Amino acid sequence: MKFKTFKGGIHPNDKKELTNKVPVTKHIPLDEIIIPLRQHIGAPCDPLVNVGDYVYMGQKIGESQSFVSAPVHSSVSGTVSAIKSHPHPGGGEAMCVFIKNDYEDKLDPSIKPFSLELNPKSIKDYVDSLDSADIVHKVKESGITGMGGAAFPLHVKLSPPSDCKIDTVLINGAECEPYLTSDHRAMLERPQLIFAGALLVAKAVNAEKIIIAIESNKPDAIELFEEMAKDYPEITIGVLKTKYPQGSEKQLIQAVTKRQVPSGGLPANVGLLVTNIDTCSAVTRAVVMNMPLIERNVTVSGDAVKSPKNLLVRVGVTFQQLFDACDGFIEEPKKIVMGGPMMGIAQSTTEVPVIKGTSGILAFTKPETYGKEEGTCIKCGKCVDVCPMRLMPNALSIFSRMEKVEKLNDYHVMDCMECGSCTYICPQRRFIVQHIKHGKSVVKNSQQKGNK
């Protein structure tokens, strides 16, 4: 079979064997959970509760008036013990609601039991009976964001600009980051929920076609999905070559549909909506039961972790609890990362909570997890070969350091998606992405100055 792919990219050791055969186990949250009021791209929420209030599991506790935002919900029942600033896994600190768990898991009265029968016929009938606006509304109320890492509020994607007609929904099951298997396990363990969610998303934007894209390193999931897709004529399965960053939105689109998102544009500009695979199961739960996004699969892995696992985790549980649930560390970790090793964010403490975009948490002991000295560029061109955006990363890194705005624009610095492929491959161990990030901020600043 010929796998679909894009130009460039790298082949890091994917380390998925640590967890891809381990079924997801449910993690029981302990005493206190910490719900950050900002878990998504966009405006942070304002708290809707006060210290001392009793909250139900699934009750909305934070909301914003801004359109690009997603409400947050309590993931346990209990009492609000504090609302204060706390370290955030996305970096820095953020306002968080602390909730003392009463271990009752009393559900919010608005949440209904799961009533949908999971077979193709009843799923289709159910989806047909719904109204698009209704689905978008429920998705918004449930605080669903992309669960692949970027955490972009889903209802925003479901409301594309009026001049863009979405014809195809692309469900991203690439999971191209090494170590992570949480989506892979979701595909194996709740496929019907995912299919139902995909249909709901397509219905919400009136798309005719759905493509579920999966990387070739998950043969069991591909087989299962291809079998199931026989019952759904609108759904096709696209098998992707295993390569990083295959799951990046623009690369996925290019691989599966041969369309290219214009520079600075959105997938909607080329008639597409892309969303992460496990987000679909969250959509199904939201629409059928009014269940907000308060729980997700998290891969806990890395060479420091004694028993790497996939856990079904409530939002707000600290990383430390999850490491403890995996029998702690073999050796003191030197680095903790939220997300995958290529684009994940290094943490300064394990007391940060899991948020909606936490696909994995990794702990590393090896010194190679931090950069060595950087050498001069030897112009080997390896970064140029691998850049999936077809940029010249070496030139960008040099111009970034010199802060040459004109040159940076000339070389399209803003198109860099910070995938890290260039830094990964550089034989001189140059911190290319880091320089480019700096370059981007220099360019942004100069634009702002120009606008004034």
Partner 1 sequence: MMEKLIVSYAPHIRTHRTTQRLMLDVIIALIPSLIASIVFFGIKSLFLVLTTVASCVLFEFAWQKIFKNDITVCDLSAVVTGILLAFNMPVSAPLWMGVVGGAFAIIIVKMCFGGLGNNFVNPALAARAFLLLSWPVNMTKWTPTVFVSKAAQGGADVITGATPLGVLKETGKISFDYMDMFLGNISGCIGEVSTLAIVIGFIYLLVKKVITWHVPVIYVASVFIFAELMGENGLFYILSGGLMLGAVFMATDYVTSPMSLKGNIIYAFCLGLLTVVIRKFGALPEGVSYSILLMNIVTPLIDNVTKNRYYGKAKKSKEAKQ
Residues that bind ligand SF4 (CB under 6 A): 377-383, 386-389, 391, 393-394, 396, 416-422, 425-428, 430, 432-433, 436
CA-based nearest residue to 153, from 279, 246, 248: 279
DSSP 262: P
- CB of residue 89 to partner 1, shortest distance in Å: 12
Question: Do residues 214 and 252 lie in contact, with contact meaning Cβ atoms separated by under 8 Å?
Answer: no
Between 35 and 416, whose beta carbon lies closer to partner 1?
A: 416
Percent of the chain that is helix, strand, coil (3-state, to 5): 30, 20, 45
**Residue 351, CA atoms < 13 Å, CB-side half-sphere:** 9
Residue numbers 243-262 binding partner 1 by CB under 8 A:
250, 254, 259-262
**Residue 114, CA atoms < 13 Å, CB-side half-sphere:** 13
- CB of residue 331 to partner 1, shortest distance in Å: 11
- CB of residue 33 to partner 1, shortest distance in Å: 20
- CB of residue 344 to partner 1, shortest distance in Å: 6
Question: Do residues 143 and 356 lie in contact, with contact meaning Cβ atoms separated by under 8 Å?
Answer: yes
Cβ neighbours, 10 Å, residue 388: 23
- CB of residue 251 to partner 1, shortest distance in Å: 8
Rounded Cα–Cα distance for residues 20 and 55 (Å): 36
Q: Which of 17, 117, 219, 265 binds partner 1 (CB under 8 A)?
A: 265
Does 440 bind partner 1 (CB under 8 A)? Our answer is no
Rounded Cα–Cα distance for residues 355 and 101 (Å): 17
Does 342 bind partner 1 (CB under 8 A)? Our answer is yes
Binding mask 315-334 for partner 1 (x = CB under 8 A): -----------------xxx
| Residue whose token pair is 């195809």 | 168
Residue numbers 355-414 binding partner 1 by CB under 8 A:
362, 364, 368-371, 373, 375-381, 384-385, 388-392, 394-395, 411-412
Structural tokens at position 215: 């990387």
Q: Which of 433, 439, 442, 443 binds partner 1 (CB under 8 A)?
A: 433
Question: Do residues 241 and 14 lie in contact, with contact meaning Cβ atoms separated by under 8 Å?
Answer: no
Query: Rule CB under 8 A: which residues touch partner 1?
Result: 10, 12-13, 178, 250, 254, 259-265, 270, 332-337, 341-350, 362, 364, 368-371, 373, 375-381, 384-385, 388-392, 394-395, 411-412, 415, 418, 420, 423-425, 427-429, 431, 433-434, 437
